[in-house]
């Protein structure tokens, strides 16, 4: 099922209020805020209750003029076929939408079947969160743009403020990555030579990771492992870690846990050193310069890692670009359980500011010098 993203700019929007015959009208400049805010709230509710949120989109046929329709009548008909807790509204001059909290794909299709005979002027499609997102991850190894018809990860603030903040962060990333490449270039050249002469294979290890909105990108590190090694050891470890089997993955003890593969046989002698000192991460400055990553943000997950997420874990990849370092790295790193590490990422996303980024970067230098949590 292919669903195109819906633009909600410069169009009126109606919200059907519960137990009321009235529709709340929002001017065009507020339409993004009202609808996406409600969608965001319902998404958070679905995450907390581990339920499914579905959306139905009704798109007007090309031959039918939107102005010729009585939209109050159509919205009233939709309301009769849905529950009082469902939310219906006009997205643009061709599209109506219904939010269906606590409704899975089969429930959404039942409502579609009720509407399709009553509204022949519209083509009707549905999508479910998080089911279709996880389905896309499993099938494609990434979150396809058509997995869910709205960008549920949009921040709940004005677009102007959001755009300005994102551009400001991007500017800092460009300047910071260029400075980082210039400052660490001698270290990178020495590391490249050491990797090349001590083990056969490429100097740079490239891997597919998931960025903002689950988009795949090529992630760079200095190679710290022997080539052609099986990743099943890491797959099993990550899945046990995410599923909370801490006694199985803890390589430390109860007082000083260590959630990292210890004495990994795949790692080379040079690899052990560059991992312990975090030198292997330096090529990620190129990822930042390209725009795939940020200096500070959540860590970019592997596709097989994201497949095992719970719905609320998705926020760490949907809300913000991944970073070279982040709040998890400076506060928790390898001593933190999985859910707590995600909470740290979400806390960073909710409280982001340039000052916060600066504090995390300064703390990162201290952690790297201590080689704390790195293996």
Query: Between the CA of residue 158 and those of 40, 74, 91, 155, what are the distances in Å?
Result: 14, 30, 18, 8
CB atoms within 10 A of CB 272: 15
What residues contact residue 196 under an 8 Å CB cut-off, 6+ apart? 203
Q: Which of 143, 176, 191 is nearest to 307 (CA)?
A: 143
Output the pLDDT for position 254: 58
pLDDT digits (tens, 9 = 90+) for 1-40: 334 333 333 333 333 434 333 333 333 333 445 666 788 8
Q: Identify the residue whose tokens are 């998890």.
A: 328
What whole-number distance in Å separates Cα of residue 275 and Cα of residue 278? 5
Output the pLDDT for position 356: 94
Which is it for the CA torsion 59, 65, 67, 68, positive or negative?
negative
CB atoms within 10 A of CB 266: 15
- Token pair, residue 102, equals 């606590």
Q: Could you give the domains of the chain?
A: 13-140 (3.30.70.270), 160-370 (no CATH)
What whole-number distance in Å separates Cα of residue 348 and Cα of residue 297? 8
What whole-number distance in Å separates Cα of residue 51 and Cα of residue 85? 15
Output the pLDDT for position 151: 65
Output the pLDDT for position 347: 92
- Cis peptide bond prior to 130, omega within 30° of 0: yes
Query: C-alpha 73: how far from its chain's center?
Result: 38
Output the pLDDT for position 3: 40
Output the pLDDT for position 290: 96
In three-state secondary structure terms, 15 is: strand
Q: Which residues pair with 122 in a beta bridge?
A: 60
What whole-number distance in Å separates Cα of residue 252 and Cα of residue 250? 5
Ranges assigned E (strand) in the chain: 13-16, 23-26, 53-60, 87-92, 95-100, 122-129, 204-210, 216-222, 294-296, 323-325
pTM for the model stands at 0.78
Assess contact for 111 and 100: CB atoms under 8 A: yes
How confident is the prediction along the chain (375 residues), in pLDDT tens digits per residue? Answer: 334 333 333 333 333 434 333 333 333 333 445 666 788 888 888 888 889 999 998 888 877 776 677 777 888 889 888 988 898 877 777 788 899 999 999 999 999 998 988 888 889 989 999 999 989 988 888 888 878 876 665 544 555 557 788 899 999 999 999 999 999 999 999 999 999 999 999 999 999 999 998 999 999 999 999 998 878 888 888 888 887 777 766 665 556 655 566 677 889 999 999 998 999 999 999 999 999 999 999 999 999 999 999 988 988 888 889 999 999 888 876 677 888 889 999 999 989 999 999 999 999 988 887 765 454
Q: Which of 365, 308, 6, 270 is nearest to 154 (CA)?
A: 6
- Token pair, residue 314, equals 């998705």
What residues contact residue 9 under an 8 Å CB cut-off, 6+ apart? 28, 31, 32
What whole-number distance in Å separates Cα of residue 346 and Cα of residue 155? 13
pLDDT digits (tens, 9 = 90+) for 70-79: 777 888 889 8
CB atoms within 10 A of CB 225: 19
DSSP string across 33-92: HHHHHHHHHHHHHHHHHT--EEEEEEEE-TTS-GGGS-HHHHHHHHHHHS-TT-EEEEEE
Return contacts of 341-345, CB within 8 angstroms, 24+ apart.
Answer: 342/312, 342/313, 342/315, 342/316, 345/298, 345/299, 345/315, 345/316
Backbone dihedral angles phi then psi of residue 113, each to the nearest 5 degrees: -65, -35
Q: Which of 15, 25, 40, 303 is nearest to 150 (CA)?
A: 40
């Amino acid at each position: 099922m292919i669903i195109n993203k819906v633009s909600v700019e410069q169009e009126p929007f109606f919200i059907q209020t519960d137990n009321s015959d009235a529709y709340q009208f929002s001017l065009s400049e507020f339409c993004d805020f009202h609808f996406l805010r409600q969608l965001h709230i319902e998404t958070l509710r679905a995450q907390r209750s581990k339920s499914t949120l579905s959306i139905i989109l009704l798109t007007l046929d090309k031959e039918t003029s939107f102005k010729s329709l009585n939209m109050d009548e159509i919205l009233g008909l939709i309301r009769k076929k849905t529950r009082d807790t469902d939310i219906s509204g006009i997205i643009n001059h061709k599209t109506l939408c219904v939010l269906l909290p606590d409704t899975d794909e089969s429930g959404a299709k039942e409502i579609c079947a009720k509407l399709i005979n009553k509204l022949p002027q519209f083509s009707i499609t549905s999508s479910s969160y998080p089911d279709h997102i996880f389905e896309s991850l499993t099938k494609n190894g990434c979150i396809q743009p058509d997995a869910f018809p709205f960008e549920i990860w949009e921040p709940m603030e004005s677009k102007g403020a959001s755009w300005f903040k994102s551009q400001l962060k991007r500017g800092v990333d460009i300047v910071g990555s260029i400075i980082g490449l210039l400052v660490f270039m001698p270290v990178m050249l020495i590391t490249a030579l050491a990797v090349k002469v001590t083990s056969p294979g490429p100097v740079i290890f490239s891997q597919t990771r998931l960025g903002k909105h689950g988009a795949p990108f090529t992630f760079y590190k200095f190679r710290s492992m022997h080539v052609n090694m099986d990743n099943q050891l890491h797959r099993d470890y990550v899945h046990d870690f995410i599923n909370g089997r801490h006694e199985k993955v803890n390589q430390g003890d109860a007082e000083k846990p260590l959630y990292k593969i210890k004495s990994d046989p795949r790692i080379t002698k040079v690899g052990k050193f560059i991992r312990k000192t975090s030198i292997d991460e330096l090529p990620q400055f190129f990822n930042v310069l390209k725009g795939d990553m940020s200096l500070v943000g959540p860590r970019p997950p592997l596709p097989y890692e994201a497949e095992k997420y719970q719905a609320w874990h998705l926020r760490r990849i949907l809300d913000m670009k991944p970073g070279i370092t982040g709040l998890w790295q400076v506060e928790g790193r390898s001593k933190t359980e999985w859910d707590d590490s995600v909470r740290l990422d979400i806390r960073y996303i909710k409280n982001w500011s340039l000052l916060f980024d600066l504090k995390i970067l300064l703390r990162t230098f201290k952690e790297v010098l201590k080689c704390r949590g790195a293996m």
